[in-house]
Amino acid sequence: MKKILTAFLLLAGVAALFAEPVKLGKMQDYTIIIPEKATKQEKYSAALLAEYLEKLYKVKVPVVAEPGKTSGSTISVGETVLAKNNGFTEALKPQSYSLKAKGKNLFIRGGFPGPLNGVLSYLQEDLGCRWYAVPYSNIPKCREPGEVRIPELAGKPLTVVPRDYAPPFEIREIMYRYGHDGRPKDEQFFRLAPISYHTDLPTESGGRLNSRLFMHTYTALVNPKKYYEKHPEYFALQNGKRVRQNYQYGAVCYTNPDIPKVMMERIREQIKKEPDACYFSVSVNDGASTQCECEKCAPLFKKHNPSDIQLMLANKVAELLVRENPNARITTLVYDPVKLTVKPHPAVLLFFAPILARYNAINMLVPLSEIGRIDSAIKSYAAEKMNVLFWDYLEYIAAFTPYPNFDQVRDSLCYLADNKVIGYFADCTNGGASMYALKKWVYCQLMWNPRADMDALIAEFISSYFGKAAPEMTEYVALMRKAWQRFIVQHRKESFTMLQYTVEERDKMQQLFESALKKAEDNEVLKGRIAREYICYLTMELKGNAQVYGIEKYKKNYERMKSLMGYVPLNATVRKDFLKRCQAKIEFSGRGREPGDYCANSVTIWKPTVVNGFSDYLDDPQSARGKSSRHIGNKPWGIQWNYIKFIDYLVPGKTYVLRLRVRTELKKPRNSGTMFSFMPFHHGGGFKQNRAFDGKFKPEYNDGKYHWIVLGKVKLVQPDSLGMFWMNSLVNRDEAIWYERLEIIPIEDFKEQEIVPDRTILL
């Protein structure tokens, strides 16, 4: 017990932790008291404390509201008269807590919204309770019961280490789950303070400050169904027309004086539905078309960057909102790591989400302090004393797995806390990330205190969660972190270094999993925990080109993965998508040449991603498959060929020829000029030498029929690149380009070398 207490007290990060615990009284002598007019959270916190004290001490502890009679000793929860009479009146920061003792009495208080963090911290840091992992019920072979440890303290005296603690982050949220299964009563024990609708605390706890208006809210705040017909002037003018916005397209008119009022009224409506909520987003839709070209907005966009203009609007909404709702806070997105020229209203929080500088398989492994554009922006916001929330991108199902971001996360959280960032939201896959349960628990402790001993936390979790298979899983995590150390040293010398496991490390990992599964033969719960991580390892093995990997070995590991799928939640991404990708690669390895393909080794993508308002996937009798993608003229980003659809089939280091089957829909013929541009987009940045490929007009393209256009060459450098080829249509607005398919051909198989433009894209 003393060892557990010492380890967990390190999490609180205050000097008082080195004091000896104060012995109070016997549990049977205590009554919990709350204020006469207790808040929702004070009532909930007292009831939760009573529930767990009974489990710990086997004693039922009554909860009494002042001025009710008590006998013996008391545990005061919240802002009681007893606490005030004993001198405990100091103001506490939001999300902080205070644990104090006087005589045999214990006083638990908390900053806004109340004492819940004090109760949870007391149960964990002083009394040794652990809520390591949450249960999952939708697993075919064996339900995951979660991992909770409540020690036996019956007959022992109540103790406390008196202290005050304020976590550095007022917002703390991380989305690691498996199959989108997360319950509010489980999430509360991670001491989260969520801002999104992806995570909820119990409504009755009074700690649920997040609202349904979380992100990309222009459409929700200025509903086109309600306003577009009567007030088209509320919406952004783009290409000479007021655009009917939706979640992924369009925007509002930033200078229309009614817009802040309309948005404020919509937030006021939401407050009536969610009276405890205090965070509301005023943020752009999730797409590229965010500007307004009207006569008042256009000069603003010439003078300021888009984030500044969006901030101006958020400031106006905040100014109106806080007059009636002083606790309300407005968040607004800042995507680009830019220096802002507009100062936020005190009630406005900048939600800094540098997706372009962060979101790729390399940069998500790099501490934030080492990503120059992010570092510059964070320090500039800190210098201006702006209230900043950081939107982090931790990993993605397509990223390299097993994915050892442990040391990066710890270092990044310390860096953000040092630079006075007040909130941390981690966007990560729900589809079955590597060591998701370990990461969820450890990273929640680090969000609470970034200076906690991560090595001790990892060791504690593995010991409890993996039981007799802990030695194998400990060695497995050590191999992951060893590979990360190698990666980061090399990355500092050469920025596009990939994380690599040696052949010996990969073989050792598989041996560890097989050994661990043998130990778990009589324990289906443990077997499931090992199997879910083994699948992450096998995902790494089964990514990439099956023929290069070795088709027989590939099939063997594919069958091993399928044998373990019964331990995966039914709605997990890996179950739905990854097995299909593997099966497609096995089929590809044995296929013959398909009609229209250049050669048997061609990789063909028939259906790109289309963007609402820019393009659509439509019936087309001229297409070999009866459908094709129509791209409206003069539209950027309208067609997107995501890397994930073809990168598995390419061989690292190999060069391929790109060709595109295209037809035109023109008002009048033309024999010269450019039809479209074809551009690589790498999340988190890319290679400087990359540039657009152009599709040039030729006289024969005026016939309205499909033609092959050879664009250039592509070479695979990063097997785990995240991104897409995206296209601009450069014909007139009343014209269009149709794209039937993209074909990627090994250069050694391409016979007409003289027609291949001397241009190469690096992936």
Per-residue pLDDT of 4-50, as tens digits, reads 444 444 444 443 444 689 999 999 999 999 999 999 999 999 999 99
**Of the candidates 406, 435, 455, which is a domain's last residue?**
455
> What integer pLDDT is reported at residue 399 of this predicted model?
57
pLDDT-flagged residues of the chain (< 50): 1-18
Q: CB of 466 within 8 A of CB of 441? A: no
Q: Are residues 439 and 290 in the same domain?
A: yes
- Please tell me whether residue 686 adopts helix, strand or coil conformation: coil
> What integer pLDDT is reported at residue 572 of this predicted model?
81
**Of the candidates 455, 490, 517, which is a domain's last residue?**
455
Q: Are residues 680 and 630 in the same domain?
A: yes
Q: CA-CA distance, 734 to 153, in Å (whole number)?
A: 77
Decide if 722 is inside a domain.
yes
Instruction: Please return the burial class of 208, using the count of CB atoms within 10 Å of its CB with bins 0-12, 13-18 and 19+.
Output: buried
Q: Are residues 104 and 180 in the same domain?
A: no
First to last CA, the chain: 53
> What integer pLDDT is reported at residue 398 of this predicted model?
54
Describe the chain by its helix, strand, coil percentages, rounded to 5: 35, 20, 40
Q: CA-CA distance, 368 to 421, in Å (whole number)?
A: 13
Q: Are residues 212 and 122 in the same domain?
A: no
Q: Are residues 116 and 184 in the same domain?
A: no
Q: Are residues 281 and 135 in the same domain?
A: no
CA distances from 413 to 349, 550, 683 (A): 18, 41, 22
Per-residue pLDDT of 239-286, as tens digits, reads 889 989 988 788 999 999 999 999 999 999 999 999 999 999 999 998
**Residue-range definition of the domain harbouring residue 372:** 173-216+258-455
Q: Are residues 375 and 396 in the same domain?
A: yes
CATH number assigned to the domain comprising residue 376: 3.20.20
- Compute how many other C-beta atoms are within 10 angstroms of the C-beta atom of residue 258: 13
Decide if 508 is inside a domain.
no
Per-residue pLDDT of 194-205, as tens digits, reads 999 889 999 999
Decide if 102 is inside a domain.
yes
pTM attached to this predicted model:
0.89
Instruction: Say how many domains are in the chain.
Output: 3
Decide if 587 is inside a domain.
no
Q: CA-CA distance, 518 to 512, in Å (whole number)?
A: 10
Decide if 505 is inside a domain.
no
Decide if 530 is inside a domain.
no
Half-sphere exposure of residue 174: CA atoms within 13 angstroms, side-chain side? 22
Which distant-in-sequence residues (6+ apart) come within 8 Å of 699 by Cβ?
A: 669, 671
CATH number assigned to the domain comprising residue 38: 3.30.379.10
Q: Are residues 76 and 141 in the same domain?
A: yes
